[in-house]
Amino acid sequence: MAVLSLGKTAACRPSRVRGFDYPQELLVDSHDVQSDLKHVLYTKEDIQRRVNELAAEIDSDYAGRDLLIVGVLKGAVMVMADLARALHSHVTMDWMAVSSYGSGTQSSGVVRILKDLETDLMGKHVLIVEDIIDSGLTLSWLKANLLSRGPASVEICTLLRKPEAAKVNIDVKYVGYNIPNEFVVGYGLDFAEKYRNLDFIGTLAPHVYE
């Protein structure tokens, strides 16, 4: 795994985005964001490359079958958007929101459905798309929940997994990267709802959550 030092430009929101001048008050303070982060784990380019590889595998595994991809809000928004656009097969998309964390960094294991699917899963091939599997408690609960709705199959695709943090054994068909047991943010992943908009994945400096 490439661990890069957070360069000056990595977390910066440019003051000019694609030629438009943004008012200063709308800009993320790049110095604040940078000082909250420790390392860049995966750059935008790393993520794009890996997501494209996963999409190619999924295309080939589900060839000739209709697939419903289910994104878990809000963390999986970025990976769903990039994965869906990299898939060449027909897919339908739906979303669920579940809560497993407050604003802390430890999984509670208590899962609540905040937003349910609009799709009837009966007879469908379902692929749950997640940002990260930490303890695995959320996903094992979610997989069992979706399996109880009569689908043809339910598999899981996650961009990140922390094998050392696993509290339950869960079968994950597609994993982008296995990462150490450290809190990460960016590319959909938040800490207290912040940092989701970063286009890379980085580790959070301990002073932010201690």
Give me the active site residues, please.
134
Distance in Å, CB of 98 to ligand IMP, minimum = 8
CB closer to ligand IMP, 94 vs 190:
190
Distance in Å, CB of 27 to Mg ion, minimum = 27
For 59, the enclosing helix (H) or strand (E) is helix 44-61
Binding residues for ligand IMP, per CB under 6 A? 75, 100-101, 107, 130-139, 183-185, 189-190
CB under 5 to 8 A by kind: which of ligand IMP, Mg ion, none does 48 bind?
Answer: none
| Residue 176 sits in the site that holds Mg ion (CB under 5 A) | no
Please pick, from the candidates 42, 131, 162, 191, the single residue that binds Mg ion as defined by CB under 5 A: 131
Rg (CA), the chain: 18
Q: Give me 161's structure tokens.
A: 């997994």
**64-83 positions binding Mg ion, by CB under 5 A:** 72, 75
CB closer to Mg ion, 75 vs 186:
75
CB closer to Mg ion, 27 vs 113:
113
35-43, 52-60, 119-127, 129-137 -> range binding Mg ion (CB under 5 A): 129-137
Q: Give me 41's structure tokens.
A: 């784990």
For residues 198 and 189, what is the distance between their CA atoms, to the nearest angstrom?
A: 9
User: Going by DSSP bridges, is the β-strand pair 125-133/67-73 parallel, antiparallel, or unpaired?
Assistant: parallel
Count Cβ atoms below 10 Å from residue 32 Cβ, excluding itself.
Answer: 10
DSSP string, 163-183: GGG-SS----SEEEEE--SS-
- Asked if residue 127 lies in contact with residue 172, where contact means CB atoms within 8 angstroms, the answer is no
Which positions lie near Mg ion, rule CB under 5 A? 72, 75, 131
